[in-house]
Structure 1
Amino acid sequence: MYGLRYLQLFICVTFTGIAFFVGYLDLTVRNAIDAVAPALASYLLGLYGSLIIYRVFFHPLKAFPGPLSVKVSSIAFSARLLSLDAHKKVLALHQRHGDFVRVGSSDLSIIHPKAPDAIYGKGSKCTKADWYDLTLPMTSMQTTRKRAEHDKRRRVWGRAFNDLRGYEERVTIFQDQLLAIISAADRKPVNITELYHQFSFDVMGDLAFGASFNMLQSSDYCCELLDKRLKTKVNTPNITSFLVEPWLDKQPLGYDLNVLQGDSQLIIVAGSDTTASTLTNLFYELARKPDLVSKIRDELQPLIKQGGDISDQKLQTLNLLTGVINETLRLHPPVLALQRKTPREGLTIGETYIPGDITVWCPQYVVGRSEKVYADAAHFRPERWYAQRDMIKEASAYAPFSLGTYNCIGKNLALMILRTTLVRVILKYDISFATDEEELAFEDRAKTQFNTLPGQLNLTFHKRSPE
Structure 2
Amino acid sequence: MPSSISISSLRLWVSCGGGVLAGVIAHQGVFIRGEWHVQAPAIIVSHGLLFLSILVANTCLNIPQADAALWMSYSYIFSLTISITLYRAFFHPLSKAGFRGPWYARITKLWHVWAVRKLKNHLVLDRLHEIYGDFVRTGPAEITVFHPDVFQAMDGPRKECIKGEWYDLLHPSISLVTERCKTTHAARRKECKRGFIHSALVQHEAKMLKHVGNLDACIEADARASRPSNLRNILFWFSFDTMGDFVFSKSFGMLQDQSWHSVIVRLQKALSLLGPFSPTPWLIQVVLKLSPRIGVLRHWFFMVAWCEGQMRTRLDEGYKKQPSPDLTHYLMEQENQSRDKTSVAWLQGDSLLAIVAGSEPTAASLLGVFCELAKHPHHADLIYDELVNAVSDSDDITTDLKTLSRLGHLNGVLNEALRLYPALLTGGARKTTDKGIIVGGTFIPPHTTIIAPRFTISRREDCFEQPTEFLPQRWTISPKMTRNAAAFAPWGTGKPAVCRYPSTTCFCVTATLVKKYRFRLAPGETGMRVMGDMRDQFTPNPGGLDLCFELR
Q: Give the match for residue 18 of structure 1.
A: 55
CA apart distance, 1:25: 4.7
1:56 aligns with 2:89: yes
Q: Is the contact between residue 156 and residue 242 of structure 1 (CA under 8 Å) also seen in structure 2?
A: no
CA apart distance, 1:363: 0.7
CA apart distance, 1:425: 0.8
1:224 aligns with 2:314: no
Q: Give the match for residue 238 of structure 1.
A: 326
CA apart distance, 1:304: 6.7
Selected match of 2:183 from 145, 148, 153:
148
Q: Is the contact between residue 101 and residue 137 of structure 2 (CA under 8 Å) also seen in structure 1?
A: yes
Q: What secondary structure, in the 3-state scheme, does the structure 1 residue paired with 2:173 have?
A: coil
Q: Is the contact between residue 465 and residue 483 of structure 2 (CA under 8 Å) also seen in structure 1?
A: yes
CA distance in structure 1 between the aligned counterparts of 2:85 and 2:378, rounded to whole angstroms: 56
1:364 aligns with 2:463: no
Question: Residues 305 and 159 from structure 1, CA distance in 2 versus in 1: closer, same or farther, beyond 3 angstroms?
Answer: closer
Question: Equivalent residues in 2 for 1:430-441 (5 A)?
Answer: 430-441=518-529
204-213 or 359-368, which moves further after superposition?
204-213
Q: Is the contact between residue 335 and residue 343 of structure 2 (CA under 8 Å) also seen in structure 1?
A: no
Question: Residues 118 and 24 from structure 1, CA distance in 2 versus in 1: closer, same or farther, beyond 3 angstroms?
Answer: same
Residue type at the aligned position of 1:229 = R
Question: Residues 226 and 295 from structure 1, CA distance in 2 versus in 1: closer, same or farther, beyond 3 angstroms?
Answer: same
Deviations 1:13-71 (A, max 9, x none): 112223444687556xxx96x76554333222211112112111111112111111221
TM-score, length basis structure 1: 0.93
CA apart distance, 1:90: 0.8
Deviations 1:65-102 (A, max 9, x none): 11112211011112100000011111111011100011
Q: Is the contact between residue 434 and residue 447 of structure 2 (CA under 8 Å) also seen in structure 1?
A: yes
1:197 aligns with 2:236: yes
Q: Is the contact between residue 323 and residue 385 of structure 1 (CA under 8 Å) also seen in structure 2?
A: yes
Q: Give the match for residue 264 of structure 1.
A: 351
Q: Is the contact between residue 271 and residue 410 of structure 1 (CA under 8 Å) also seen in structure 2?
A: no
1:86 aligns with 2:125: no
Deviations 1:422-445 (A, max 9, x none): 111111111111134432333211
Q: Give the match for residue 462 of structure 1.
A: 550
Question: Equivalent residues in 2 for 1:244-255 (5 A)?
Answer: 244-247=332-335, 249-250=337-338, 252-255=339-342
CA distance in structure 1 between the aligned counterparts of 2:327 and 2:313, rounded to whole angstroms: 14
108-117 or 157-166, which moves further after superposition?
157-166
Q: Give the match for residue 16 of structure 2.
A: none
Q: Is the contact between residue 70 and residue 76 of structure 1 (CA under 8 Å) also seen in structure 2?
A: yes
Selected match of 1:43 from 60, 67, 76:
76
Q: What secondary structure, in the 3-state scheme, does the structure 2 residue paired with 1:348 have?
A: strand
Q: Give the match for residue 215 of structure 1.
A: 254
Question: Equivalent residues in 2 for 1:11-410 (5 A)?
Answer: 11-21=48-58, 25-26=62-63, 37-62=70-95, 63-163=98-198, 164-185=201-222, 186-218=225-257, 219-220=260-261, 221-232=306-317, 233-247=321-335, 249-250=337-338, 252-303=339-390, 308-310=395-397, 311-336=400-425, 337-404=427-494, 407=495, 409-410=497-498
Question: Equivalent residues in 2 for 1:416-431 (5 A)?
Answer: 416-431=504-519
Q: Is the contact between residue 405 and residue 411 of structure 2 (CA under 8 Å) also seen in structure 1?
A: yes
TM-score, length basis structure 2: 0.79
The runs of 5 or more residues in structure 2 that have no matched partner are 1-37, 262-305
Q: What secondary structure, in the 3-state scheme, does the structure 2 residue paired with 1:410 have?
A: helix
CA apart distance, 1:305: 8.0
User: In the comparison of the two structures, how many residue pairs are matched?
Assistant: 457
CA apart distance, 1:169: 2.2
Residue type at the aligned position of 1:59 = H
Q: Is the contact between residue 328 and residue 347 of structure 2 (CA under 8 Å) also seen in structure 1?
A: no
Residue type at the aligned position of 1:289 = H
The runs of 5 or more residues in structure 1 that have no matched partner are none
Q: Is the contact between residue 424 and residue 538 of structure 2 (CA under 8 Å) also seen in structure 1?
A: yes
Question: Residues 11 and 183 from structure 1, CA distance in 2 versus in 1: closer, same or farther, beyond 3 angstroms?
Answer: same
CA distance in structure 1 between the aligned counterparts of 2:118 and 2:311, rounded to whole angstroms: 34
Q: Is the contact between residue 431 and residue 449 of structure 2 (CA under 8 Å) also seen in structure 1?
A: yes
Q: What secondary structure, in the 3-state scheme, does the structure 1 residue paired with 2:256 have?
A: helix
Residue type at the aligned position of 1:101 = V
Question: Residues 303 and 231 from structure 1, CA distance in 2 versus in 1: closer, same or farther, beyond 3 angstroms?
Answer: farther
Identity %: 32
Deviations 1:154-192 (A, max 9, x none): 122212222233323222211111111112222312211
Q: What secondary structure, in the 3-state scheme, does the structure 1 residue paired with 2:403 have?
A: helix
Residue type at the aligned position of 1:170 = K
Residue type at the aligned position of 1:439 = G
Residue type at the aligned position of 1:228 = T
Q: What secondary structure, in the 3-state scheme, does the structure 2 residue paired with 1:101 have?
A: strand
CA distance in structure 1 between the aligned counterparts of 2:176 and 2:469, rounded to whole angstroms: 36
CA distance in structure 2 between the aligned counterparts of 1:6 and 1:119, rounded to whole angstroms: 31
CA distance in structure 2 between the aligned counterparts of 1:307 and 1:256, rounded to whole angstroms: 41
CA distance in structure 2 between the aligned counterparts of 1:247 and 1:270, rounded to whole angstroms: 22
CA distance in structure 2 between the aligned counterparts of 1:78 and 1:394, rounded to whole angstroms: 33
Q: What secondary structure, in the 3-state scheme, does the structure 2 residue paired with 1:182 have?
A: helix
CA apart distance, 1:222: 2.4
Residue type at the aligned position of 2:414 = I
CA distance in structure 2 between the aligned counterparts of 1:165 and 1:249, rounded to whole angstroms: 24
Question: Residues 313 and 305 from structure 1, CA distance in 2 versus in 1: closer, same or farther, beyond 3 angstroms?
Answer: closer
Q: Is the contact between residue 188 and residue 460 of structure 1 (CA under 8 Å) also seen in structure 2?
A: yes
Residue type at the aligned position of 2:550 = H
Q: Is the contact between residue 114 and residue 394 of structure 1 (CA under 8 Å) also seen in structure 2?
A: no
Aligned alpha-carbon RMSD (Å)? 2.0
Residue type at the aligned position of 2:51 = T
Q: What secondary structure, in the 3-state scheme, does the structure 1 residue paired with 2:124 have?
A: helix
CA distance in structure 2 between the aligned counterparts of 1:249 and 1:120, rounded to whole angstroms: 32
